[in-house]
Amino acid sequence: MKSVLIVDDEKSFLLSLKDGLSAHGERYQVVTAENGRQAVELLRSQPIDLLVTDLKLPEMDGFELLAWVSRHQAQLPVIVMTAFGTPEIEARLATLDALQYLEKPLDLQMLQEGIDSGLESGAKSYIRGITLATFLQLMSIEQKNCTLKVTASAGVGYIYISRGELRDAEYQELSGESAALEIVGWDNAEIEMDGICRRQEAVINLSLEHILIEAFRRKDERAYRKKQQIEAAGEAPQLTPAEQKDVSVRQEEPPRPLTAEQLSCKRLTEVLTKLAAVQEFVIFDQHGFLEQKNPSNCTIEDFDPEIYSHLVELIDAQISFGSFSHLCLNTASRYRYLLLRSQEHRVLVKLKPGTQPQQVVSEIKRYLNR
């Protein structure tokens, strides 16, 4: 039997939906969550065939949940419930034909029909996961502040958004508008979200709509030129648009090779996992996004590395200690925490009681230098 996960912070609303959909119990079961974090726990622990979620959620909001789905369960069909209620926003939503929306107050019959369609194989009114363009438009509608880490076959890029507007972007040596135009056109992108815009200065002056239009114009132009080259070389038969779409759906993207940064993170994870003195650890990239953590229960994964980066800058301004290697924090609970830098990564390590921090630092360096 298929499972539908409905996420909303109003308990009475969830109970009424579950009760109203109980008549369809022979075809699917309904499970509920009251925030994004509970939803992720359910998605990790049991098979879910369709996600229905509100955007305004406590602890982990709907945008963070959609970003998690994009990265970890990209094939999951999604329905978004909204309560925007203004003609201007409704008009903007009408242009987002890639994602199914249901407006609050919710019509139970429409929800039933939406779930039925979403669970059907190949339902065209639903996307499989969240496209980057749709996610950005959602951010604009909600006027969100965030930093996005976007991963695709082309590499890793960062987008900075303040009150729904693009502020800056980074991709390899590119920045600003040129980086944004590259990133937003990526296919099969994985999205990670940090709820803080980590850029103060507005570098991009173009609107999101302009960026999207121009990015996809360039993408279509490149695809057209490539198609002409293939046809001129006689390497492939001409296909109708419907056939081309069908082929693109059936073709699987090859595994992405690991970047130098990802290889470094993998090696660092192996080292920290081996060390008996390390109780827990988390590894962040240079922009503060969580890259890896210890495999067992991790109580420090919500740590914000920007806090200690700011602390280090303040200390350095006072005593000019030069290149930062590590800091050790002692707590009243007898635990010690190490703050480390390793190449492009920032690391927080929780040590077992009685451990000498310098020994652990030396061990980490010794393993990494092998």
Among 77-86, 112-121, 223-232, 341-350, which range has the highest average pLDDT? 341-350
Highest mean pLDDT among 124-138, 219-233, 237-251, 305-319: 219-233
Domain of 153 in residue numbering reads as 134-213
Q: How far apart are CA 150 and CA 153, in angstroms?
A: 10
CATH number of the domain enclosing 117: 3.40.50.2300
Q: Does any domain span residue 296?
A: yes
Q: How confident is the model at residue 255 (pLDDT cuts 50, 70, 90)?
A: low
Which residue type sits at 108? L
Residue 241 banded pLDDT, cuts 50, 70, 90: low
Q: What is the pLDDT of residue 127?
A: 42
Say yes or no to pLDDT of 106 above 60: yes
Question: Are 136 and 193 in contact, with CB atoms under 8 Å apart?
Answer: no
d(CA 143, CA 83): 14
- Cα 177 to chain centroid distance, Å, stands at 21
pLDDT of 91 > 50? The answer is yes
Instruction: Report percent pLDDT > 70 for the chain.
Output: 85
Q: Tell me: do 6 and 121 sit in the same domain.
A: yes
- Say which residue, 178 or 224, is predicted with more confidence: 178
H or E segment and range at residue 53: strand 50-54
The segment with the largest mean pLDDT, out of 37-46, 74-83, 90-99, 208-217, is 37-46
Query: Cα angle vertex 33, ends 31, 34, to 5°?
Result: 150
246 within some domain: no
CB 36 within 8 A of CB 64: yes
Residue 147 placed within a domain: yes
146/117 same-domain check: no
CB 264 within 8 A of CB 270: no
Question: Does residue 126 share a domain with residue 21?
Answer: yes
pLDDT of residue 122: 43
Asked if the structure places residue 230 within a domain, the reply is: no
Helix H or strand E encompassing 169: strand 165-171
Distance CA 57, CA 112 (A): 22
Q: Say what the pLDDT of residue 138 is.
A: 82
Strands 336-342 and 345-351: antiparallel
Indicate if 154 and 204 belong to the same structural domain: yes
Same domain, 100 and 138: no
Using pLDDT thresholds of 50, 70 and 90, give the confidence band for residue 236: low
Q: Over the stretch 44-88, which tens digit does the pLDDT of each residue have?
A: 999 999 999 998 899 888 888 988 888 888 788 888 887 654 555
pLDDT confidence of 289, banded at 50, 70, 90? Answer: confident
